[in-house]
Amino acid sequence: MAKCTIDGREVEFTAGENLIEIARRVGVEIPYFCYHPGLSVVAQCRMCAVEVEKMPKLQTACSTPASDGMIVHTDSERAKSNQKSIMEFLLINHPLDCPICDKAGECDLQENSFKYGDAYMRTSEERRTYLDLDMGPVIKKNMNRCIHCTRCIRFGAEVAGVREMVAVSRGNNTEITTIDGRPLETDYAGNYADICPTGSLTLKDFRFHKRAWMLKKTATVCEGCSKGCNMEIQQDNNVIERCIPRPNMEINRYWLCDEGRFNYHYVNDRSRITAPTSLGGKTSWTSAVAAAKEALKGKKVLVLAGSDLTQEEAKLLIEFAPKAFPGSTLLHFGTPGITATTQDAPADTLLKRKSKTSNLNGWEKLGVKGADSIPAGTEAVLVIRGGRAELPNLDGVSTVVAIGVFNESEVAAAKVTLPGTSFSEKDGTIVNYEGREQRLRRSINPVGQSKQLGEILMLWTHSAAAAPRPMESVKGVVA
Amino acid sequence: MLVKRDVKALQNIYLIEVLKGLAITMKHMLFSKAVTIQYPEERRNYSDRYRGMHYIKATNGVENCTACMLCPTVCPAECIHIVAGERPDKEKYPVKFEIDILRCCFCGMCEEACPKDAIKLSKIYEMSTSKRVVYDKDYLLEQRGHK
């Protein structure tokens, strides 16, 4: 295998790998701005220039594929002085507004300036300023902070498939903007904020909510559709502040759609029911469960479970339903018109899929059928869902009991509502469209008085005072 | 362990010892300067670096604070609570700025962390109240200090 030497460390590489990636593998950090592993290489920020022996000039590490026997110095005097000069050059026009910039704390420019730049600047000229036009509901633009890395332009053209960002004018007056100043069209606009190495493009949704370093991060999976994109939930004080993609080359690469990114809003929504409710009024868990049992007693029950519930919850319900309601039917629901994985298909060319629930495949694997319509003769319906599945029309049913995450208007007609947990408040397994098992991780504690489904069913089955036991029956479901 | 001390006969009557002690007391009472002061009327002059009641400095009537959250980040007592917002004349400003003064340990790290010279600790030390007080933004914006 071909070998090269980076800062005295010998590394093996496969043909075509660039120096940044190889160096990262042996723990040598090469600073960069315009390079992004998911985008084409343009080598225009010049920050990653390194010294390669037998080459007269510094070489940009992002655009230099390694070759056998190559000897690279990333910390030589020339490379270091180049880094320092580039930092000074980039900061000539960069405003000193880190205190009010949402990117501060996770900003490439800030970090590289701290590590490779100089604490003092020699310029006293005025910095260029721009008037910023609105870029639609997702992204807030601040051109003053831009360093012209063109990551956003390349992301639009290469990944999102829309050429919407362009660079106009030249040199110092370059402005990165949308064509004719139109708002962004793509459904993947949130990624612009992720890939921007400065605070030029930031999320409007997260604007001034928290500083980056205050957020506690949990690696989990998106529940927005059956794709199962890897995602990180960032929360503070039990409130989810934002979600960002987690790289997974086999599923979502570096990206996340806006639907999945902003899906979490229902979790901390004010209209979410977070206390047991009986006939529209708040009550205790004990009396709500008793009322729910009373409402369904002796009736022909249809158990409707959202296909956004995890495998563990599905297994619990499959065991619970026939015991609690003999003669009942258990069906799953999620997206109108999609009851089986055969109807699920890509909804666009990048990530989105038609099934808007995360675990359709898992429910099907456990042998539960999807609900087209309410079967004839149904007297009562028990609806259980995690928050994402779209409720079917239950107008004709006289008795509805709901367990899970609902907002007030959705369960106005329900006799009893028992608040459950959303994807961010529980651990569990979901199976994506291609059969890939992934773990949901709990990032926040259940909001209000919400309980896990296992606990609710325990209350239901045993007396109200029964202590919650670990979900023993779930053992063996997960490989 | 008890130690048997060798006590002389005169010491045993105590009278001389009592008079000796009284002499020291009288010396301090009559001939040395009082260490206490008549507090509300008289005040001590504390150092300019004294860390007392907080205030937010304002320039031309506008608060210096830009709600950068460095003070709640550095605060060891977690007593500063800020909610940031936007208004036409200022991109980012504190909509809410509250100091839970009973939790504050007056370490002055907020003042040190502030990049905008906004949060300050004045020399005011008379802060006792009969109930729990949270200083809000309006209260903090009264310019109390001169730092």
Q: What is the rounded distance in angstroms from the CA atom of residue A347 to the CA atom of residue A355?
A: 9
Selected residue with higher pLDDT from A87 and A474 = A87
Subunit contact A213:B73, Cβ cutoff 8 A: yes
Subunit contact A208:B66, Cβ cutoff 8 A: no
- Chain A residues with CB under 8 Å of a chain B CB are 97-100, 104, 207-211, 213-214
Return the CATH number at B69: 3.30.70.3270
Residue to mutate among A100, A145, A237, with most B CBs inside 10 A, is A100
Subunit contact B69:A211, Cβ cutoff 8 A: yes
Nearest to B116 among A99, A104, A209 (CB): A99
Q: Are A24 and A90 in contact (CB under 8 A)?
A: no
Chain A residues with CB-CB distance to B86 below 8 A: 207-208
B56 CB-side CA count, 13 A: 26
Q: What residue numbers bound the domain in which A136 lies?
A: 100-107+123-207
Determine the distance in angstroms separating the CA of A209 from the nearest CA of chain B, rounded to an integer: 7
Quick one: A134 and A85 in the same domain? Answer: no
pLDDT mean over B92-116: 95
Structure tokens at A382: 């028990």
In chain A, the number of structural domains is 3
Structure tokens at B59: 């320039």
Residue-wise pLDDT tens digits, A173-223: 999 999 998 999 999 999 999 999 999 999 999 999 999 999 999 999 999
Pairing of strands A277-278, A281-282: antiparallel
**Can you give the pTM of this predicted structure?**
0.87
Q: Is residue B65 part of a domain?
A: yes
pLDDT of residue B103: 94
Q: Is residue B129 part of a domain?
A: yes
pLDDT of residue A475: 54
Residue-wise pLDDT tens digits, A325-384: 988 899 999 999 999 999 999 999 999 999 999 999 999 999 999 988 888 888 899 999
Residue A467 has pLDDT above 50, yes or no: no
pLDDT of residue A466: 44
Q: Among residues A314, A404, A303, A421, which one has the least CA distance to residue A362?
A: A314
Q: Final residue of a domain: which of A178, A207, A236?
A: A207
Residue B147 has pLDDT above 80, yes or no: no
Quick one: A69 and A130 in the same domain? Answer: no
Quick one: A379 and A420 in the same domain? Answer: yes
Q: Is residue B78 part of a domain?
A: yes
Quick one: A367 and A441 in the same domain? Answer: yes
Q: Is residue A330 part of a domain?
A: yes
pLDDT of residue A242: 95
Q: What residue numbers bound the domain in which B107 lies?
A: 54-140
Q: What is the rounded distance in angstroms from the CA atom of residue B93 to the CA atom of residue B84?
A: 6
If one counts every other C-beta atom within 10 angstroms of the C-beta of residue A324, the result is 17
If one counts every other C-beta atom within 10 angstroms of the C-beta of residue A167, the result is 14
Nearest to A208 among B73, B85, B116 (CB): B85
Q: Among residues A273, A289, A247, which one has the least CA distance to residue A385?
A: A273
Quick one: A336 and A460 in the same domain? Answer: yes
Helices (H) and strands (E) in chain A, counts: 10, 22
Quick one: A48 and A161 in the same domain? Answer: no
* Residue ranges with strand state E in chain B: 54-56, 58-59, 62-63, 80-87, 90-100, 119-121, 134-135
pLDDT mean over A26-37: 95
Quick one: A81 and A162 in the same domain? Answer: no
pLDDT mean over A293-313: 93
Residue-wise pLDDT tens digits, A140-173: 999 999 999 999 999 999 999 999 999 999 988 9
Return the CATH number at A203: 3.30.70.20
Q: In one letter, which amino acid is B38?
A: Q
Determine the distance in angstroms separating the CA of A207 from the nearest CA of chain B, rounded to an integer: 9
pLDDT of residue A7: 95
Subunit contact A99:B115, Cβ cutoff 8 A: yes
Quick one: A391 and A444 in the same domain? Answer: yes
Residue A137 has pLDDT above 60, yes or no: yes
Q: Is residue B111 part of a domain?
A: yes
In chain B, the number of structural domains is 1
Subunit contact A208:B116, Cβ cutoff 8 A: no
